[in-house]
Amino acid sequence: MTFRLAKHDRGIALIIVMIIIAALTIVVTGFAYSMRVEAKLARNTRFNPDMDWLGRSGVELARYLLSKRARGEEQMDALHQKWAGGPCRLPTDATDELEPWEELEMTNVKLGNGTFSIKITDMERKLNINSAPEPLLRFILEMHGGVDAIDVDVYIDSLRDWMDPDENAGLNGAESDVYLSESPPYYSKNGPLDHITELKLVQGFRENPSLYSVFAKNFTAISGGLINVNTASAQVLELLPGMDPDIANEIVMFRTSPEGGPYRNPNQIGVPLERFGMNGSSIQQFLAIESATFEVEVTAKIGSDSRKYISLLRRLSPKDIRILYFHSQ
């Protein structure tokens, strides 16, 4: 016995079959995706300790390189040096034989079943938001942040209130009572900034993203306080009083020129400044030729998986380089 469906019913059956196929496709695709995620998680979990040890090994390599300095460069940190990824020697000393530590690889270093690469950046190439003198902050807010003179106190007082330990707001500042009325509410830090992104929470800066980005690019929260004139960009130097783009560029060019070379003393900036009729006395107070705080970015790889780790190091002496933090990204 055979059943024959009416033409109308056959159409409905076809639609039902197509809906079922579409639903099954969605279910199967979802299942396949979740299996892939599960497999990746399982693989990551298996590699976690290995990845972490690759990350830590990268930090140890950075500490070792930062403990070493070429002869005659013991009091100076500059971009031609090994830690900064430079050629190690100045053009004038290019024929000198490299020492074994200067020939160590910093990228794709093989270890166990993986590799790691490191990149070291000194924090003294930027200004320090916690120790920048108020007149300098005022100067930067007005001259580089485009803030009207009458509004500058909002930024200065708010930043001071954010960092000072009490809850007494300055005339134009803000403490917890202001921030607790925000959504979501938060307390005033009442301590130094740990990271420059904290500025986003401070009255004035949080309402002015373009000003915040000037500070985020050129300031750090953790450094020795002075700017290393051997590593700072022209953009950072330009923020100092009396500077303009041409003068800042000249200071940077001088440190790579044959007649200049890296600065061996902050007083030496007087030489490139001479042609601008300046002597550099107004900005020397902000400058150093050494760095003490270094951020290390380690990229660990095992097979096709990779992970980034960030560490902050403080060099108290070549034999005492401390890890301030270490975490994966």
Which residues of this protein are in contact with Ca ion, per CB under 5 A? Answer: 161, 164, 188, 190
Provide the minimum distance between the beta carbon of 167 and Ca ion in the complex, in angstroms, as a whole number: 6
Q: How many residues does the chain have?
A: 329
- Look at the block and give the residue holding tokens 């950046």: 121
Count H helices and E strands in the chain, helices first: 9, 9
Sequence-distant (≥ 6) Cβ neighbours of residue 56 within 8 angstroms: 309, 326
- 129 within 8 A of 196, measured Cβ to Cβ: yes
Provide the minimum distance between the beta carbon of 168 and Ca ion in the complex, in angstroms, as a whole number: 7
Nearest residue (CB) to Ca ion, 158 versus 293: 158
Q: Which two tokens stand for residue 83?
A: 């830690």
Sequence-distant (≥ 6) Cβ neighbours of residue 289 within 8 angstroms: 75, 76, 77, 78, 228, 229, 230, 262, 263, 264, 265, 266
Nearest residue (CB) to Ca ion, 104 versus 178: 178
Nearest residue (CB) to Ca ion, 174 versus 237: 174
Q: Which two tokens stand for residue 236?
A: 């950072």
Nearest residue (CB) to Ca ion, 164 versus 250: 164
Cα–Cα dist 167/312, whole Å: 31
Cα–Cα dist 234/231, whole Å: 10
Provide the minimum distance between the beta carbon of 152 and Ca ion in the complex, in angstroms, as a whole number: 19
- 47 within 8 A of 305, measured Cβ to Cβ: yes
Provide the minimum distance between the beta carbon of 171 and Ca ion in the complex, in angstroms, as a whole number: 14
Cα–Cα dist 247/273, whole Å: 7
Nearest residue (CB) to Ca ion, 122 versus 161: 161
- 245 within 8 A of 234, measured Cβ to Cβ: yes
Nearest residue (CB) to Ca ion, 77 versus 157: 157
Provide the minimum distance between the beta carbon of 151 and Ca ion in the complex, in angstroms, as a whole number: 20
Provide the minimum distance between the beta carbon of 229 and Ca ion in the complex, in angstroms, as a whole number: 33
- The distance of Cα 166 from the centroid of its chain, to the nearest Å, equals 30
Nearest residue (CB) to Ca ion, 195 versus 275: 195
Torsion angle of the four alpha carbons 9, 14, 16, 21, in this order, in degrees rounded to the nearest 10: 170
Provide the minimum distance between the beta carbon of 194 and Ca ion in the complex, in angstroms, as a whole number: 15
Which letter does DSSP use for residue 91 in this model? G
**H or E, element range at 141:** helix 134-143
Q: How many CB atoms lie within 10 A of CB 267?
A: 14
Provide the minimum distance between the beta carbon of 216 and Ca ion in the complex, in angstroms, as a whole number: 22
Nearest residue (CB) to Ca ion, 93 versus 182: 182
Provide the minimum distance between the beta carbon of 165 and Ca ion in the complex, in angstroms, as a whole number: 6
Nearest residue (CB) to Ca ion, 190 versus 235: 190
